[in-house]
């Protein structure tokens, strides 16, 4: 799933290439991806792209005039992606025949497509006058790369509800933009068990967690900056120290990276770095170890 660093890179990539261009056509291929009916996709035609922003894991393409904007906001979910074309294909797409969900053509013939692999279609596109009209955006928590993500704010979130720290990092209503992969990386850098309860974290623990969050995300954004969209997935995989590396050696201590599997996902961690050398039990098999 694209997370904050990749969505930030995609937003910057699109922003650089679409700014000032006019929208020439919008083609909705997967009707299930479009979650709104007014404004209609055709209402974007003739509008000028004013910019592209990120809200958590959402991409927001803003079109003018500024006095009456229309935003195309998209969530790529687990298997969605953005494909850029210097010359957008003109062949009409057949619904159900490909991963293509939506195409936007610009007035110079370039454009982009939103695609989604697999059979579970969760990619979401909204056309709205204000991004806040999308409930999932209106309820986003603090952006970890924004000025409001202070140590004090993290401490407030940790104290508000006694929950597993990985759950706190992944909850979009508390911290926006972090998913399964980067929460693994942050907790590894912070030397914290993914199952540690937030109210058990002392000041030093929270300082490490705050610093690790900024360090991991900023490094990932920097590594993604300037890369074409086609290279971002590989760049993400190469940057991971524990996520997706079950059975490999931890680059910090040399221990074997372990995994805990759930019904629809898994997490990876290093016992030596994060859990005092104790492997965590699979919650499907037995009680979790902390």
228 is catalytic: no
16 is catalytic: no
Using DSSP, state whether 200 is helix, strand or coil. Answer: helix
CA distance 175 to 4: 11
In DSSP notation, 164-181 reads: BHHHHHH-TTTBSS--HH
Of 47, 54, 57, 245, the active-site residue reads 57
94 is catalytic: no
Of 3, 6, 8, 259, the active-site residue reads 3
Q: Which helix (H) or strand (E) holds 104?
A: strand 100-106
Of 161, 233, 237, 265, the active-site residue reads 265
2 is catalytic: yes
CA distance 173 to 179: 12
Given a contact cutoff of 8 angstroms between Cβ atoms, the answer to whether 44 and 97 are in contact is no
Alpha-carbon dihedral sign for residues 160, 163, 166, 170: negative
CA distance 290 to 285: 15
- Residues forming the active site: 2-3, 57, 265
């Amino acid at each position: 799933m694209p997370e904050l660093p990749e969505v930030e890179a995609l937003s910057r990539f699109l922003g650089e290439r679409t700014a000032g261009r006019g929208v020439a056509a919008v083609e909705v291929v997967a009707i299930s991806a479009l979650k709104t009916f007014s404004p209609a996709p055709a209402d974007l035609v003739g509008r000028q792209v004013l910019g592209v922003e990120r809200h958590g894991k959402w991409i927001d393409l803003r079109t003018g005039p500024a006095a009456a904007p229309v935003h195309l906001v998209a969530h790529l979910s687990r298997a969605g992606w953005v494909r850029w074309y210097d010359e957008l294909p003109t062949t009409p797409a057949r619904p159900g025949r490909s991963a293509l969900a939506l195409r936007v053509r610009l007035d110079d013939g370039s454009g982009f497509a939103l695609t989604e692999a697999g059979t579970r279609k969760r990619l979401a596109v909204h056309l709205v006058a204000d991004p806040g009209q999308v409930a999932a955006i209106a309820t986003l928590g603090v952006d970890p790369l924004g000025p409001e993500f202070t140590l004090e704010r993290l401490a407030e979130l940790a104290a508000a509800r006694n929950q597993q720290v990985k759950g706190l990092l992944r909850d979009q209503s508390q911290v926006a933009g972090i998913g399964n992969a980067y929460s693994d990386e942050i907790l590894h850098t912070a030397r914290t068990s993914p199952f540690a309860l937030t109210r058990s974290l002392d000041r030093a623990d929270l300082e490490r967690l705050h610093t690790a969050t900024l360090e991991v995300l900023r490094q990932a954004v920097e590594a993604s900056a300037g890369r074409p969209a086609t290279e971002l997935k590989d760049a993400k995989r190469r940057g991971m120290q524990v996520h997706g590396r079950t059975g490999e050696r931890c680059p910090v201590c040399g221990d074997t990276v372990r995994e805990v599997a759930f019904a629809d996902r898994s997490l990876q961690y290093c016992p030596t770095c994060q859990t005092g050398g104790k492997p965590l039990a699979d919650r499907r098999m037995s009680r979790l170890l902390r």
